[in-house]
Amino acid sequence: MGDKATLTVDGKSYDFDVFVGSENEKCIDIQSLRDQTGYITMDPGYGNTGSCYSSITYVDGAKGILRYRGYPIEQIAEQASFMEVACLILYGELPTQQQLGRFRDAIAEHAPIHTNLEHHFSGFPKSAPPMAILSAMLNLVSCFHPEVLEVHSEGRAFNRTAALLLSKVRTISAFSYRMAIGKPINHPNPNLSYCANFLHMMFSDPYREYIASPTVERALNLFLVLHADHEQNCSTSTVRMVGSSHANLFSSVAAGVCALWGPLHGGANTGVIKMLEDIRSSGHSLDYYLDLAKDKSSEYKLMGFGHRVYKNFDPRSRILKKRVYEVLEELKLDDTLLDIAIELEEKTLQDDYFLSRNLYPNVDFYSGILLRAIGIPLDMFPVMFAIGRMPGWISNWRELLAHKQRISRPRQIYTGEKLRQYVPIDER
């Protein structure tokens, strides 16, 4: 705490504390505003509202900076495994070999799912959206592991619940895919890495075990690492909102999955591929689509462009763009969608509409092409995002409880009818 900010309203002045974060981010703490002045602030979409103090992830949207617990995303993406990143995000420090080993053991231990839980998959129609299955099944886990209903943000109980969740989300996601394609499930193999095990559960067949190539495994690892956390985005804020009622971790992240599902958030990676495929097949020029996106009378948006926070570039998109080339080359794949994507990006970089609004490719723009290259089907893209985001959701849920944050309960300004008297139905 240091300086004060002064607000003058109705002829009176009020002082509020100013808080400066470790990277010089500033806020005016208005927690006492309503009590002192009778006013509330109005900020739909929360673009100027801080909802918490957090030490997990730092984003500087103007400079295109993203750091997990202080480590630059560029270094992490280049060198760390998803399990290492999960430990870092959950516990605040990079794990030692021994700590990582214990963490991996816990993940392996919790990978199988209860046979009765397995039966629930067959109750979904084949066409069921994988995000609906994921959200439902995450809630169901608590029926088979009642201990996760207890809310612990510290100690062994928390460690166990966190490992259980990180592990179960992978198994549930892979099983939902197997059910959707009408093939038998593949049980987890404890000897495989987090990524290789997921790919095995997705793609092995009874007579042909899928062994992920190092390129594919690295590509999936990169995808998960880049999605591991992103401070107070829509789904993470949802997890915190639900968790603030002391809802258990599984129900809180199940709500996060639902928030992530939307096309403006985690559903955008699917939208990007659909958009690129549409461009390829329609015969229309790229300028046609750019004009459509600029036309305010149309609802059309360029999927994978724009971000609430990044107003220069999204560092995750830069990393992905570089890796997508390498992965396609290493796998000897030629994806014409990548050519269209690059041409589209180049055009937007010369277009005043996009430049003046700071609309650059976000993480979703190139991630879909990477997922396609490693064989992930389109409707599983948001599920992949959810698996990746799990460490961030868990860590934010934990931090909320550790900080003993009050239940989330925004205010509103009522603009409806004033008091009126009820009229019985036969007199209307």
Applying CB under 6 A, among 117, 242, 303, 394 the residue interacting with ligand ACO is: 303
- Closer residue to ligand ACO, CB minimum distance, 158 or 381: 381
The residue (of 160 and 311) whose beta carbon lies closer to ligand ACO is 311
- DSSP class of residue 105 equals H
Is 364 a catalytic site residue?
yes
Residue closer to ligand ACO, measured from CB, 197 or 236 = 236
- Active-site residue among 105, 307, 314, 339? 307
Q: Which of 256, 304, 382, 391 binds ligand ACO (CB under 6 A)?
A: 304
- Smallest gap, in angstroms, from Cβ of residue 155 to ligand ACO? 32
| Active site (annotated) includes residue 403 | no
Give the pairing type, strands 65-68 and 71-72.
antiparallel
* Residue 379 per-residue DSSP state: G
The Cβ-side half-sphere exposure at 232, using a 13 Å CA radius, reads 17
- CB-nearer residue toward ligand ACO: 103 or 365: 365
Nearer to ligand ACO, 188 or 392 (CB): 392
Tokens describing residue 418: 């004033």
| Interatomic CA distance for residues 377 and 222, integer angstroms | 18
Residue 388 sits in the site that holds ligand ACO (CB under 6 A)? no
Contact between 318 and ligand ACO (CB under 6 A)? no
Distance CA 385, CA 211 (A): 22
Give the CB-side neighbour count of residue 199, counting CA atoms within 13 A: 24
Helix H or strand E segment including 58: strand 57-60
| Residues present in the chain in total | 428
Catalytic residue (one of 339, 364, 403, 426): 364
Per CB under 6 A, 361 contacts ligand ACO: no
Q: Site map for ligand ACO, 255-294, x if CB under 6 A?
A: ---------xx--x------------------------x-
The 12-20 sheet, strands edge to edge: 4-9, 12-20, 26-28
Distance between CA atoms of 289 and 302, rounded to whole angstroms? 8
Does 347 participate in binding ligand ACO (rule CB under 6 A)? no
Closest contact distance (angstroms) between CB of 50 and ligand ACO is 16
DSSP class per residue in 239-273: HHHHHTTT--HHHHHHHHHHHHHSTTTTTHHHHHH
Q: Which residues are catalytic?
A: 307, 364
Positions touching ligand ACO (CB under 6 A) are: 264-265, 268, 293, 301-308, 357, 359, 362-364
